[in-house]
Amino acid sequence: MGKEEIPKWAGIGSKFAHLTSAHPCFGVKAHFSVARMHLPVAPRCNIQCKYCVRRLDKCEQRPGVAACIMDEEAALRRLESEVKSNPNLKVVGIAGPGDPLANEMTYRILGRIKEKFPNLLLCLSTNGLLLEEAAERLRSLGVKTVTITINAVNPKVGASIYEWVWYGGTLLRGEEGAELLIKKQLRGIEELVKRGIVVRINTVLIPTVNQDEVESIASEAARRGASLMNIIPLIPQHEFKSLRRPTCEELERARKQAEKYIPQFRLCRQCRADAVGIPGRESQGTTPSEYFHG
């Protein structure tokens, strides 16, 4: 890398250095040694992406999938069991299968975990539509990291990715919905960063749709204080089932473009909403549904 290619973020110090040894989605070493747990307590979503299918399934390995939706007590029993049996468990998060912030259960569970397991690192993943309003509540509940999926900063591109956006009792489509979502996502980053919450950006790379947006997403997110970016390949399904996955070369090209503005995470496994264990080495034992009884 020549001098002209030195990333804008280089030399300013890592804003998330305290997480790299504790969170498998932020640090390379932690990715191979630290266990995390996703609690599937958030079924509802307030947007519809053209690549997203939420489903209850015990076998399919991708975001938006869980074996079941847990109620509050079942989730806590499941977490307590894992804490007792897995000394490598350091992180517990909520990643769906819908959007955590669109489900009141998310906040109740986070509050209970903070009280009962104060040493666990709390995180969640969201589309960001409700982040601006939720930021202070998340801070008070002890959330340390938030991952926001941002696939466009140009509403015209966003309109080709999102079928609809539901906000404040109104259903928005096309550029109107995409514009609102993008505005709320970027404001959400700022509100989280103000409160000391570390922000990671997920971007789904969709060939022929948003490949030219990646650099702009990286620039806008970094300018507002995001600390890390994770570019992941499209899983062709739903309205995008006829599209292809990006090649390894396309992924690396996008990451290099984005890396001029923000550090890149390259180890994402696109986990289920009920994933448990060290990424790639998840337990195949007890299923979440067993914790509804007993």
> For 130-162, how does the pLDDT look when each residue is reduced to its tens digit (9 = 90+)?
999 999 999 999 999 999 999 999 999 999 999
By the 8 A CB rule, do 126 and 93 touch? no
By the 8 A CB rule, do 91 and 19 touch? no
User: pTM above the 0.75 mark?
Assistant: yes
Rg (CA), the chain: 18
By the 8 A CB rule, do 109 and 138 touch? no
Pairing outcome for strands 162-167 and 47-49: antiparallel
97 vs 56, more confident: 97
pLDDT given for residue 1 in this prediction: 46
* Domains defined along the chain, listed by start: 3-292 (3.20.20.70)
pLDDT given for residue 11 in this prediction: 41
| Percent of the chain's residues with pLDDT above 70 | 75
By the 8 A CB rule, do 96 and 40 touch? yes
| Percent of the chain's residues with pLDDT above 90 | 51
Q: How many CB atoms lie within 10 A of CB 36?
A: 27
- Band the pLDDT of 201: cuts 50, 70, 90: very high
The closest alpha carbon to 233, from 241, 245, 224, 223, belongs to 245
CA distance 91 to 100: 16
Give the pLDDT confidence of 249-280 residue by residue, as tens digits: 999 999 999 999 999 987 666 666 676 655 55
By the 8 A CB rule, do 245 and 234 touch? yes
Q: How many CB atoms lie within 10 A of CB 85?
A: 11
Give the pLDDT confidence of 18-44 residue by residue, as tens digits: 665 566 565 555 454 456 788 999 899
